[in-house]
Amino acid sequence: MSTVTATKTVPQPKKKPLRQRMAKYWGFYLMFIPVLAFVAVFHYAPMFGIRYAFYSWKIVGDPVWVGLANFEKLFRQSQFSVAFWNTIVFSVVKLLLNTGFAVIISLLLNEMVSLRFKKLSQTIIYLPHFMSWVVTASVFSLLLSPSESGLVNQLLIKLGVIDEGIYYLADKGWWRTWYYIINVWRETGWQTIIFMATLTGIDPGIYEAASIDGAGRWKKMRYVTLPALANTIITVLILNLAKIMNLFESVFVLQNSSVQRATNVLQTYVYYQTFNSGASADYGYTTAVGLFRSLVGLALMLICNFASKKVRGRGIV
Amino acid sequence: MAKNEELEYVTPAGVKVSAPPHINKPKSQFTVFNGINGFIFVLVCLIILVPIWKVLIDSLDLTTGYGLKLIPTKFGLDGYASIFTNPSLLRPLWVSVYTTVAGTFLGLLLSTMGAYVLIQWDMPFRTTFANILLLTMIFSGGMIPSYLVMRGLGLTDNPLGPILLPAINVYNLVLMRNFFEGIPKSLFESADLDGCSPMGTFWRIALPLSKAALASIGLMFAVAYWNDYTNFKLYITNRNLYNFQMKLRDMMQSSDLPESVGSATENTIRNACVITAILPFMVLYPFLQKYFVKGINIGAVKE
C-alpha cells in the first residue's frame, strides 16, 4: 500500500495554519484515539520490554543487568540453532510446496470444462483453511494413530507395505514429512484463490490470438498462462517470505514430547523455555531469543520490501 | 456439435465468417485431457474430504476398532450425548461463543474507524498515523514482552485478554481502507457540506456502503476468534476460561475426556469433539464462501 498523498496539479491556495487545519478534523482525531490506544498497548508497549534481553530475570526479584551475555548463551545453545534452522527450513519448504501445488491446481482448475464441477471443487479445496490448527492436528493425529483405529496405518498394513503401525508423529523424519503434507492439505486450496483471480483477469483475446497462430492447449498454458501468473507467483513468494519467522501455531499443535526438541522452531523454543521449564525460566534469555527472531524478521521484511519494489513497483507494507 | 459443421464467427461489423481451418474442429466436450483433469479433481476433493469424513464417521460409530471403515458399523449418537450433557465441555463452548461475538464486533469497530480516518487524505498527521500502524507489521516486541505487558495489565487469566488483543488487526484495517477508497469522494463531501459530523458521515455513508466488505472482514475476525488457540495458550491458565480449541487440544493430548454416556468409547468422544468444533462453521460455510473469497480479493487484486 502506498502512503503517498494525492498530489494536486491545480495551484494550491495558501495553506492555512496547522492548528486551523487540525481543528477541521477534530472529529477524526477523536475517532482514531481507540485505534491508537490499542496499538500502543498491544504493539508498542511490548517493544519497551525488549530491554529485558539484556537482563537476567527469573520473574521473581529484580532483573540483573548482564549486557550481551544472553546473546552469547544463545549462540552456544545447540537447541537454539536447531530451532533457528527449523524455522527457516520448515517455512521455506512449506512455502515452495504450497505455492507449487497451488499453481498446478489453479492451472488445472482454469482448464476445467464443467463450471458446476469447478465451483464444487473450489468450495471443497478452500474448506480446510477454515479449520483451526488444533482441529487440523486433531484430525491428523486420529488419522495417523498407530493403533488399529488409524486409517493411514491400517491402509498400509492391508496393502502389505508395512507390518505394524508406525507412530508417525513421534518420529523425527516422519514428523517433518507429515508436517508438509498437512500444510499442503490445509493451505493449497486457499492459495489458489489469488492465482485464479489473476487467471480470470487474462484477456481472452490473447488465447484467441494464440489459437489462430496454431497454439494448442499446452502451448497456450506455457506461453500465455504461465507468464501471466509469473508476477503473481513472485508476489506471493515475496509476501510470504517476509513472514517466515512468525511460524508458531502449526508446529506447536503437531508437536509431542518425543519430537519436541528436534522439531522446535524459534517461537516454540521460546514458549517451552519460558513456560515449560519450571521455576528456572530466564525471561531475559527468552526475550533475547525473541529479539533475535524479530530482528531477522525485520531484515527479511526490508529485503522483501526492496525486492517487491524492484519486481512490481511497490512495497509490501 | 456435429463433426462436419463449420464454425462461424460474427465480426464486430456483423459479417459472418467461417473460422480458419485449424480451429475449425469441434470443441468436443470430452477429450482425454478433460477426462484426466476431471479425474484429478475427483482425487483432490477426496484427499481433502476423506480425513474429515473419517472423523465424522468414527464420531457416529460405537465400536472400538475403526480401521478402514468409511461407514459406521454400529451407528449411535452417544459420543455427542457425552459432550452435550457434560458441563466441562459446555463451558468452553460458551467461552468460544462470547469471545467470538465480542471480538468480532470490537475488531470491526476498530478496523472501520481506523480505516475511515486513514482515507482523510488532507488531514494533518494522517501519514504519521498510517506509519504508526504499518510499523507494527514489520517489527514486534515478541512473545515474552507481550506476555509481560498482558500480565502487567491483569489481562492474563482474564477473558478480556484474548478478546482485546486480536481486535486490533492492521492487516484487516488496511483491507477496510482499500475498500473505503473505492467509495466516491463526492458522497463524503456532500455529507460534509450538509453539516454531517465525521462520526455521522461514518455511520450514515461509509458503513452502509460497505456491507460486503463488512461481511468479509467480519467473517475473517469471527473465524480468527473461533479458531484462536495461541492467545488462550499464552494468556489463560485457568481451566474455567478455556475456549473450545483449548479444551479440544487438552482432550486429544491427555485423557481429560468427558465421562462417556451410554456406550460411547473414548475414541468416539474424541472424534465427536472434533466434529463439534467444526460443525457450526461447516453448516454455514457454503453460504459464506463468497464473502471469504471477496475478502481476500479486496486486498490482493488491487494492482
Q: What is the pLDDT of residues A216-263, one digit of tens each?
A: 888 888 888 888 888 889 888 888 888 899 999 999 999 988 899 999
DSSP β-bridge partners for residue B17: B9
pLDDT-derived band at B84 (thresholds 50, 70, 90) equals confident
Q: Mean pLDDT: which of A246-260, B84-98, B274-288 is highest?
A: A246-260
Residue A262 burial class via C-beta count within 10 angstroms: exposed 0-12, middle 13-18, buried 19 and up: middle
Break chain A into its structural domains and give their ranges.
Answer: 80-312
Which pLDDT score, from 0 to 100, does residue B16 have? 62
Q: Which of residues 242-261 of B touch A (CB under 8 A)?
A: 245-246, 248-249, 252-253
DSSP per-residue codes, A265-286: -HHHHHHHHHHSSGGG--HHHH
Cα–Cα dist A34/B29, whole Å: 58
Widest pairwise Cα distance in chain B? 81
Q: What are phi and psi of B228, to 5 degrees?
A: -60, 125
- Coil, strand, or helix at residue B34? helix
Q: What are phi and psi of B266, to 5 degrees?
A: -55, -45
Percent of chain B clearing pLDDT 70 (strictly above) = 83
The answer to whether the CB atoms of B249 and A138 lie below 8 A apart is yes
pLDDT-derived band at B4 (thresholds 50, 70, 90) equals very low
The CATH number of the structural domain formed by B84-300 is 1.10.3720.10
Which pLDDT score, from 0 to 100, does residue B269 have? 83
Break chain B into its structural domains and give their ranges.
Answer: 8-76, 84-300
pLDDT-derived band at B9 (thresholds 50, 70, 90) equals low
Question: In b/e form, how buried is each residue of A203-237, taking b as 16+ CB within 10 angstroms?
Answer: eeeeeeebbeeebeeeebbeebbeebbeebbebbb
List the grid coordinates of A277: 521449564
Region of A142 (left: φ > 0; alpha: ψ -120 to 50; beta: rest) is alpha
Region of A90 (left: φ > 0; alpha: ψ -120 to 50; beta: rest) is alpha
Residue of B nearest to A267 (CA): B143
Which pLDDT score, from 0 to 100, does residue B183 have? 86
Low-confidence ranges of chain A (pLDDT < 70): 1-14, 317
Task: Mention every residue, 6+ apart, whose C-beta is less than 8 A from residue B299.
Answer: B171, B174, B175, B178
Q: How far is A276 from chain B (nearest CA, A)?
A: 12
- Coil, strand, or helix at residue B254? coil
Region of A114 (left: φ > 0; alpha: ψ -120 to 50; beta: rest) is beta
CA distances (Å), origin B27, targets A109, B6, B32, B81, B203: 18, 11, 13, 55, 53
Q: Give which of A232, A271, A234 is closest to A252, Cα–Cα.
A: A271
The answer to whether the CB atoms of B141 and A123 lie below 8 A apart is no
Touching check for B144 and chain A: CB below 8 Å?
yes
Helices (H), B119-203: 126-138, 143-152, 160-164, 170-181, 185-193, 198-201
Q: Give which of A267, A279, A306 is closest to A91, Cα–Cα.
A: A267
In the predicted model, what is the mean pLDDT of residues B149-164? 95
Q: What is the pLDDT of residues B181-237, one digit of tens each?
A: 888 888 888 888 888 888 888 998 899 988 888 988 999 999 999 999 999 999 999
Mean pLDDT across chain B: 83
The answer to whether the CB atoms of A35 and B227 lie below 8 A apart is no
Write down the number of H helices and E strands in chain B: 13, 2
- The distance in angstroms from the start CA to the end CA of chain A is 6
Strands A64-65 and A55-56: antiparallel
pLDDT-derived band at B302 (thresholds 50, 70, 90) equals very low
Which pLDDT score, from 0 to 100, does residue B10 have? 59
Closest Cβ–Cβ partner in B55, B147, B202 for A139: B55
Residue of A nearest to B138 (CA): A298
- Coil, strand, or helix at residue A253? helix
Which pLDDT score, from 0 to 100, does residue B8 have? 57
Task: Mention every residue, 6+ apart, whose C-beta is less than 8 A from residue B251.
Answer: B257, B258, B269, B270, B273
The amino acid at B219: L
Cα–Cα dist B147/B151, whole Å: 6
Torsion sign across C-alpha atoms B247, B140, B121, A238: negative
In residues, how long is chain A?
A: 317
Q: How far is B1 from chain A (nearest CA, A)?
A: 15
Model ipTM value: 0.88
The answer to whether the CB atoms of A108 and B40 lie below 8 A apart is yes
Residue of B nearest to A29 (CA): B117
Spell out which residues of chain B touch residue A128, defining contact as CB-CB under 8 Å.
48, 52
Q: Which of residues 78-137 of B touch A (CB under 8 A)?
A: 109-110, 113-114, 116-117, 120-127, 129-134, 136-137
pLDDT-derived band at B301 (thresholds 50, 70, 90) equals very low
Q: Mean pLDDT: which of A218-222, A254-258, B59-63, B285-289 is highest?
A: A254-258
Cα angle B103, B115, B184 (rounded to 5 degrees) comes to 130
Give yes or no for residue B20 having a pLDDT over 70.
no
Predicted TM-score (pTM) of this structure: 0.87
Spell out which residues of chain B touch residue A293, defining contact as CB-CB under 8 Å.
142
pLDDT-derived band at B80 (thresholds 50, 70, 90) equals confident
Give yes or no for residue B299 having a pLDDT over 70.
no
C-alpha A311, offset from chain centre: 21
Q: Give which of A286, A284, A277 is closest to A66, Cα–Cα.
A: A284
Which pLDDT score, from 0 to 100, does residue B296 have? 66
Which pLDDT score, from 0 to 100, does residue A317 have? 63
Give yes or no for residue B5 having a pLDDT over 50.
no
Q: What share of chain B is helix, strand, coil (3-state, %, to 5)?
A: 65, 5, 30
Specify the residue for cell string 472529529: A27
Task: Mention every residue, 6+ apart, whose C-beta is less than 8 A from residue A278.
Answer: none
Q: Give which of B64, B68, B69 is closest to A158, Cα–Cα.
A: B68
Residue of A nearest to B31 (CA): A113
In the predicted model, what is the mean pLDDT of residues B46-52? 93
Instruction: Identify whether the C-beta of residue A254 lies closer than 8 Å to the C-beta of residue A169.
Output: yes
Specify the residue for cell string 485431457: B33
- Coil, strand, or helix at residue B183? coil
Percent of chain B clearing pLDDT 90 (strictly above) = 37
Residue of B nearest to A5 (CA): B121
Helices (H), chain A: 18-24, 26-39, 45-48, 69-76, 78-110, 115-126, 133-143, 151-158, 172-200, 204-212, 217-220, 226-241, 249-254, 260-263, 266-275, 283-312
Topology adopted by domain A80-312: MetI-like fold (1.10.3720)
Touching check for B287 and chain A: CB below 8 Å?
no
Cα–Cα dist B142/A270, whole Å: 10
Quick count: other Cβ atoms within 10 Å of Cβ B36? 11
Cα–Cα dist A130/A283, whole Å: 34
The amino acid at B233: K
Cα–Cα dist B100/B275, whole Å: 18
